[in-house]
Structure 1
């Protein structure tokens, strides 16, 4: 073992492969070990030697050096930057433990290196919000999946919103997203429409809806409802007028609306439920045509249905669209159990959030269509 800086410098002047191997071996074994503490002068000297040497040593030596540096307490930022931009087998240890790298370094690697480098960063312990945004902007599906599965990653709201949107295409995002402690409530409710029944129940039971979020959602949703009302088709308009007359006469009841379902008058049922809960008709249509059934429990709770009324509604709405999904006893029992656990106030807030997100999705789709057709948005 070489323990003397002069001997180390002499070895650094060697031009042979054996000399380079012995130099790296001694630096990693001695100066990058936890037991050894470098002075500022020694650290600067060794860093300079290694930076000059790194481009000429073999891949396995660079990999060995990267592992040693990643697990040491020695700060050699420039050397770490060089190795982190190397072949992925060299870069991986440093990208997993990014203490020696700044956000600007990681973002540059994300932009200009390989998907394997992005995956390594996404799995690492140094993912900050700016880094998460870069991963979302430049990463492929593998990097995004690694990011959403990393509980240590600090994911910005904008990056989280992108991941929630991508979850419509990638089922593998569903469970890790719902399990994240930093998933905002409104994004959780947006994700609701993409996930399985079990994850839906988790969202409904675990996420508390912030009053300020709902107030803002309600303001936007009311504006959207006015637009939707003005554009409603004839059947919806007729149904809405009937519902308003019934409400004014005090005859708009849950039992009446269930009878409209039994008689096949779905537009009246939808208009009545929308009136009672205070959301627009398209949101209620989305709920009653949803095959999962869990959202029906939310709608039922929002209008203070009894358990018996909810069971009847679940069976009737499923029958009206010709599906078998909730007709089995086991499924009805699961939905009823969920119904029992959801309170009215939370159910109403959930419906408001769903209305806001539906309007948002429609606006995005309209903008996409306009962009593709080269036209202009109506009224602009």
Structure 2
């Protein structure tokens, strides 16, 4: 029988070593030196001290790092390596700088955005006067909660590309849309494309705020229509721009080729059932491309029907006729108009003809005039890199139509 293995003698657990007072004092003194005014310490001495402080902070406990961060928060200029170390630290350490230091550089904040945590990014998004470059970096993360904080920051600044990115994000994050609509950086081109995925309240706000008149453009270029006509409308770019600006919405030339005598007759025929052929005829007679018409007729909310009818001078009853042709319920069990149709009729009543034309022309411009074969392929494949970054209608078409092709 083998002998049992000898047991190790009992050793009491080693008591934790008390934290050296010299370390805490040294960290404080080094931070004090870094904070000295330029009259007391030159740039090289400050940098040397900061390097030593960085080495010590990398092994310091959280409480010690927090104390140093609070000490440096009021410093006008902090050495780069030191500030980046503290900004990338735990949020309890970085908070002192992010909340209290007004002089953090954009480069340091962007570095923090890209290398720290969600909570760091949320805190940066709350800072007073967030610069455009920092906002762009925050939005790049694609975190809706960070973007929501940024949009609520009235003193933050959003660049054009930042707004473009957030507009695209709002399609999958409905909470962002009402916040975007309150931003001064938002332009009609953004609002018109967001209309397609906005809820009823947001759609009403878009039409009230962004459905602008084209009267100033019509006055500015009024004499150019005759000149373009004399030239036979040879220049395609001028033709597209003038078509957007002109007052007349209906396409008179389409009447000669249409089986209907007028747009009103086509709408009346649609009451028995809006077939694809009738829908295309209504689109042509309304001065629209069939793709734009299809987007309007298949919209689940129905507000675009009101825009179409008002812009083309159709009577109020035409909205109900198209609604009936789409086989949508008109009344409830009590005989009262259903809320959805009532809402659409209210849109018809509230918007002026010229403003409705602006919205309708923009939709047609963005959803059809920019639709090249290459863009169509990019939309089907979801290839946003193929879209011309300077083309407003191309970007709008990508956003508005990309999911339609995926159905």
Cα 1:241–1:100 change in 2 (3 A) is closer
The equivalent of 1:83 in structure 2 is 86
1:337 aligns with 2:346: yes
Cα 1:329–1:115 change in 2 (3 A) is closer
Cα 1:143–1:219 change in 2 (3 A) is farther
Question: 1:296-307 to 2 correspondence within 5 Å?
Answer: 296-307=305-316
> Partners in 2 of 1:98 and 1:92 — Cα distance?
10
Q: 2:324 aligns with which of 313, 316, 332?
A: 316
1:95 aligns with 2:95: no
- Cα offsets for 1:81-108 (capped at 9, x unmatched): 3321222321234234563222222222
8 A contact 1:291–1:325 mirrored in 2: no
Following TM superposition, by how much is the alpha carbon of 1:280 offset from its aligned partner in structure 2, in angstroms?
0.9
1:160 aligns with 2:163: yes
Aligned residues: 329
> Partners in 1 of 2:92 and 2:173 — Cα distance?
28
- Cα offsets for 1:325-376 (capped at 9, x unmatched): 887443333322222221111111212222344356896562265698xxxx
8 A contact 1:132–1:154 mirrored in 2: yes
Following TM superposition, by how much is the alpha carbon of 1:137 offset from its aligned partner in structure 2, in angstroms?
3.1
The equivalent of 1:378 in structure 2 is none
1:352 aligns with 2:361: yes
1:200 aligns with 2:208: no
> Partners in 2 of 1:329 and 1:69 — Cα distance?
63
The equivalent of 1:261 in structure 2 is 270
Cα 1:139–1:294 change in 2 (3 A) is closer
Q: 1:41 aligns with which of 39, 42, 54?
A: 39
Question: 1:229-244 to 2 correspondence within 5 Å?
Answer: 244=255
8 A contact 1:318–1:325 mirrored in 2: no
> Which one has the bigger helix percentage?
1
- Cα offsets for 1:254-289 (capped at 9, x unmatched): 2x1222112325345433432343221111111121
> Partners in 1 of 2:71 and 2:118 — Cα distance?
24
- Cα offsets for 1:162-218 (capped at 9, x unmatched): 211122222232222222221111011111111111101111111144859x99xx9
Stretches of structure 1 that go unaligned for 5 or more consecutive residues are: 1-15, 226-239, 373-380
| Deviates most, 114-123 or 194-203 | 114-123
> Partners in 1 of 2:317 and 2:382 — Cα distance?
49
The alignment's C-alpha RMSD in Å is 4.2
The equivalent of 1:172 in structure 2 is 175
> Partners in 1 of 2:342 and 2:295 — Cα distance?
22
> Partners in 2 of 1:124 and 1:193 — Cα distance?
32
The equivalent of 1:252 in structure 2 is 262
Stretches of structure 2 that go unaligned for 5 or more consecutive residues are: 1-18, 219-235, 244-250, 384-407
Following TM superposition, by how much is the alpha carbon of 1:245 offset from its aligned partner in structure 2, in angstroms?
2.4
The equivalent of 1:181 in structure 2 is 184
The equivalent of 2:290 in structure 1 is 281
Following TM superposition, by how much is the alpha carbon of 1:291 offset from its aligned partner in structure 2, in angstroms?
1.1
Following TM superposition, by how much is the alpha carbon of 1:144 offset from its aligned partner in structure 2, in angstroms?
3.4
> Partners in 2 of 1:42 and 1:83 — Cα distance?
24
Query: Which of the pair has more CA radius of gyration?
Result: 2
8 A contact 1:118–1:139 mirrored in 2: no
Secondary structure of the equivalent of 1:99? coil
| Deviates most, 187-196 or 298-307 | 298-307
Following TM superposition, by how much is the alpha carbon of 1:42 offset from its aligned partner in structure 2, in angstroms?
4.7
1:190 aligns with 2:193: yes
Cα 1:176–1:97 change in 2 (3 A) is farther
Secondary structure of the equivalent of 1:148? helix
- Cα offsets for 1:224-259 (capped at 9, x unmatched): x9xxxxxxxxxxxxxx9995326799x3142x1222
8 A contact 2:307–2:348 mirrored in 1: yes
Question: 1:28-177 to 2 correspondence within 5 Å?
Answer: 39-42=37-40, 52=53, 54-67=57-70, 69-70=72-73, 72=74, 74-78=76-80, 79-96=82-99, 99-177=102-180
8 A contact 1:257–1:268 mirrored in 2: no
Following TM superposition, by how much is the alpha carbon of 1:18 offset from its aligned partner in structure 2, in angstroms?
3.0
